[in-house]
Amino acid sequence: MSNDSSKLELAGKDYDLQVMRGTIGPDVVDIRKLYGQSGAFTFDPGFTSTASCESQLTYIDGGKGVLLHRGYSIEELSEHSSFMEVSYLLLNGELPSADELADFSYTISRHTMLHDQLRGFYQGFRRDAHPMAIMCGVVGALSAFYHDSTDISDPEHRKISSHRLIAKMPTIAAMAYKYSIGQPFLYPDNSLSYTGNFLRMTYGVPAEEYVVNPVVERALDRIFILHADHEQNASTSTVRLAGSSGANPFACIAAGIACLWGPAHGGANEAALNMLREIGTPDKIPHYIERAKDKNDPFRLMGFGHRVYKNYDPRASVMQKTVREVLDELNLDDPVFEVALQLEEMALNDDYFKEKKLFPNVDFYSGIILSAVGFPTEMFTALFALARTVGWVAQWNEMISDPGQKIGRPRQLYTGPTARPYVPVEKR
């Protein structure tokens, strides 16, 4: 990283600010000393122009529609790699050799079981609890069960807790699903792949042998790869902020899950499929496009638009191809897919969406695949959380290992009342 300098003039005084340069991407003006030198803060709600950290994990060029993990394109990773391989890459910085991959997969498979007492937690939830409510609670509760891996200053503890989180998320998510439909929990089967094991824990029953469909397994594994990490998005920033105070990793990931739940973030895949179903038939599309453009109508095209991508989200095109593979394999002719394809085409040819650079995002097509596989919409965000856990723990580890790491503490532009005398209650 090389440094240049730039000047800022504020109230007639000049301030020298370093310009930091990454390996790729925009230059970054270092304002860390600005307050100390000038007494002024910067104002950036939603952090649209602020880099909150240095990172070597993921690079996005939203204008060009590029997503790289440790330098490898998401298209190549989703075509050639498995989710385990991408997880290793995110955590360790390099693609694994065959032996390293086998070792890593073995290690993860040895952490898939939950402490048996955690099973009791599920009974405390209503049967109709949203799986994300269960995920927030159970993942946060892991910190009460795994005291032997919560010393965040010990790299070995951090490694074990990272492996535990990645390994246990499929078990936790599958158990949330089983609980909602009243079926018994299934223990993990470590002879299966990470994703095959998850499918079995979700759809298998103790009374029958479950045979994993390789096309569905590959499609779901690819969905996990596409969701594995995405730079400093809202939930990842939440994990980093929670972790910056020294909170244990299980609590930090629970915070990330809470943030991911919102419909503007991870909840969008559920909202996108609900919207496509509501539209129902292609003839209704123009009506919904008009609604999305109407400033007096709160309706937005879910699965469209992105804070960073002002071009086609590269994950959405991989997802679109995967929808076809899954529907063909399962012999399904889902009318919602046709609605999605036509909606995309119409929106991309509409001036409003062109001018605002609104393109389909990863969530636009993922719901169709997940629904075809048999997941109810409430499970969609839980699957996103499962996959994003590796990104969250990799980012959390990167932050904790950084010797310059500080507690996150944004400042504010105060617009409330100035100091005033207190008025006793009988005089108000």
Bridging pattern class, strands 28-29 and 58-61: unpaired
**Residue placing its CB nearer to ligand ACO in the complex, 184 or 410:** 410
Please tell me the distance from the alpha carbon of residue 357 to that of residue 188, in angstroms, as a whole number: 44
Residue in 130, 229, 306, 313 annotated catalytic: 306
**Residue placing its CB nearer to ligand ACO in the complex, 247 or 318:** 318
Minimal CB distance to ligand ACO: which residue?
305
Q: How far is the CB of 86 from ligand ACO (least distance, A)?
A: 17
The backbone torsions φ and ψ at residue 83, rounded to the nearest 5 degrees and listed phi first, read -60, -35
**Residue placing its CB nearer to ligand ACO in the complex, 157 or 265:** 265
**Residue placing its CB nearer to ligand ACO in the complex, 324 or 356:** 356
Q: How far is the CB of 154 from ligand ACO (least distance, A)?
A: 33
Please tell me the distance from the alpha carbon of residue 227 to that of residue 428, in angstroms, as a whole number: 54
**Residue placing its CB nearer to ligand ACO in the complex, 164 or 306:** 306
Is residue 363 annotated as a catalytic residue, yes or no?
A: yes
Considering only CA atoms, which of 340, 89, 63 is closest in space to residue 228? 89
CB 24 within 8 A of CB 59: yes
Q: How far is the CB of 144 from ligand ACO (least distance, A)?
A: 30
Q: How far is the CB of 318 from ligand ACO (least distance, A)?
A: 14
**Residue placing its CB nearer to ligand ACO in the complex, 112 or 233:** 233
CB 319 within 8 A of CB 375: no
Please tell me the distance from the alpha carbon of residue 186 to that of residue 209, in angstroms, as a whole number: 12
* Contacting residues toward ligand ACO, per CB under 6 A: 264-265, 268, 292, 300-307, 356, 358, 361-363
What is the side-by-side strand order in the sheet with 66-69?
A: 58-61, 66-69, 72-73
Q: What contacts 105, CB < 8 A, 6 or more positions away?
A: 84, 193, 194
Specify the DSSP element, H or E, that contains 36.
helix 34-38
Q: How far is the CB of 408 from ligand ACO (least distance, A)?
A: 21
Following DSSP, what letter does each residue of 374-406 receive, concatenated?
T--GGGHHHHHHHHHHHHHHHHHHHHHH-TT--
Q: How far is the CB of 85 from ligand ACO (least distance, A)?
A: 22
Specify the DSSP element, H or E, that contains 338.
helix 335-348
Residue reference for tokens 């993921």? 58
Is residue 306 annotated as a catalytic residue, yes or no?
A: yes
Catalytic residues: 306, 363
